[in-house]
Amino acid sequence: MSTETASEATRLSEPIRIIVPVGSLGAGVREDEVAYGLSRGAQAIACDAGSTDSGAAYLATGKSKNNYGAVKRDLEILMKAQVEAGIPIIIGTSGQAGGDINLDWTRDIAVEVAKELGVEPRIALIRSEQDKDTVKRLNAQGRVKPLAPLGPLEDATVDECDHIVAVLGVEPFVDALEQGADIILAGRSTDTAVLAAFPIWKGAPWGAAWHAGKIGECGAQCAEERDGSGVLLSVSSDGFSVEPLSRTNRCTPHSVSAHMLYENSNPFRLVEPGGILDVTDAHYEQVDERTVRVSGARWDKQPYTMKLEGAGGGAFQTMMLVGIEDPDVLRDINGFHDRFLMALYQRTQQSIPAERLGEFHISLRMYGWNAVSGLRPPKGTAPPPEIGVLFVATAETQELANEIAQACNPYFFHFPAVMDKELPSYGFAFSPADVPRGQVFEFKLNHVVEVNDPMELVRMDWVDLGEASKTKLEVAHD
């Protein structure tokens, strides 16, 4: 495959400077940091607004993890800066998951802020949600390929999804910038593409732009301290520099280079739509107390693919929680877990007829022992002073999950570690003890789709508040 190098790109007379105000819109933009970035000559503001980190529910339901007030606050600061400096704002993975519902939610907040500020930006909405028929058609053409550990995609799996998105690269952002967008709100995007798009549009080398995007994707996480939110990226013809927007923070070669390990199985190669970022020969240099200069990245062009993410709802769950300090339990946590779980299964099967119970599952998660990993600690591990036991019942309906929890309730609070002793009472956290958790959501798709054009699966809408005001004025005059 061909490789793009600095010598093949336009030579830039000045660096392209981008404010990355925060790792995720709604996480807390700092007004003083944005002001510092503007004073340094920033030409764009770009940041991510979501991720799959928090699970499938946000795509399946169209909800945002960051709440309305937090997102509105951040947008107010950024949109004021945008008006002051006349530079574009670029937001990716709007509303946490980047589906159409998530994107429209973010759009409504931006429009509300614009009206309150008395400004009329031209807003591009880049949509990446896919309908099921399109995904099935592409799959039938052999253009959808699985990512490990999944196998070939079945139509039934597509039908299980509530929402499906294709992950955007830089090209749709560049297209929106070409058309004069003041604000870009995009659907599901790679974090890196959101930041790389503006310098690429301005003629920067793709290797440097993509590498800068990767380093800056989480804002100040590439800095030494966590006392700030954002960074300033300056992309030039032979690399880029990065500095924190907080003047009390600093970047170092170690803090910057280490970010290539973040959410990446290979710290030297990062797969993106249309290519691979290769930083094998990258060089990191401390140029002043707060700034690191980076050079040597390459962009290896590849056949264009976009990742497909699909999420849907499944079974329902009910939880209960107890805290235990009983020394008999703490002396043999593994054995207690196994006997406890067996008793709860037996109690459920005795209490609810099999024909009504259907397929169900009970788990006990021993917090303070092995709830996170699920792996049993090595023999001889000292017992903790207490454990928290989380009971989770999973069933086909919420009513059944509730009924299982209620059937297990007496055992869950009083099951003894030693059967010939008086019954213990464990410390329950809530009353009533059973807490309906609702539907379980999961990612159904982990695939890539081959596209003939980066815009093939993209739709773009516009909200032009200036044009809307002009139309209203003309109507009023008529």
Shared domain check, 377 and 322: yes
What dihedral angle (degrees, nearest 10) is formed by the CA atoms of 73, 74, 77, 78?
-150
Average pLDDT value over all residues in the chain: 94
Shared domain check, 335 and 285: no
pLDDT, position 436: 97
pLDDT, position 8: 44
Shared domain check, 298 and 326: no
Side-chain-side CA neighbours of 265 within 13 Å: the count stands at: 1
pLDDT, position 469: 54
- C-alpha distance from residue 271 to each of 180, 278, 287 (Å): 29, 9, 29
Distance (Å, whole) CA 244 – CA 293? 13
Please identify which residue in the block is written with the tokens 């310098």: 199
pLDDT, position 471: 54
Shared domain check, 176 and 41: yes
β-sheet bridge partners, residue 229:
none
Q: What do you get for the CA distance between the two ends of the chain, in Å?
A: 60
Contacts of 34 (CB under 8 A, 6+ apart): 19, 21, 45, 77, 78, 81, 230, 245
Distance (Å, whole) CA 274 – CA 228? 33
Strand bridging mode 231-236 / 239-244 = antiparallel
Check whether 44 has a pLDDT greater than 50.
yes
pLDDT, position 28: 94
Distance (Å, whole) CA 232 – CA 239? 14
Per-residue pLDDT reduced to its tens digit, 186-214: 999 999 999 999 999 999 999 999 999 99
Domain coverage including residue 90: 16-128+167-302
Q: Within a domain: residue 228?
A: yes
Shared domain check, 242 and 190: yes
Assign 468 a pLDDT band (cuts: 50, 70, 90). low
Number of domains observed in the structure of the chain: 2
Distance (Å, whole) CA 46 – CA 267? 24
Shared domain check, 267 and 321: no
Last residue within a domain, chosen from 250, 281, 302: 302
Check whether 1 has a pLDDT greater than 70.
no
Is the peptide bond preceding residue 149 cis, with omega within 30 degrees of 0? yes
Shared domain check, 277 and 202: yes
Distance (Å, whole) CA 340 – CA 370? 16
Give the CATH number, domain containing residue 429: 3.30.70
Shared domain check, 293 and 325: no
pLDDT, position 225: 86
Q: Within a domain: residue 136?
A: no
For 418, other C-beta atoms within 10 Å of its C-beta total 13
pLDDT, position 227: 77
Q: What are phi and psi of 207, to 5 degrees?
A: -60, -50
Shared domain check, 383 and 242: no
DSSP-derived 3-state class of residue 32 = helix
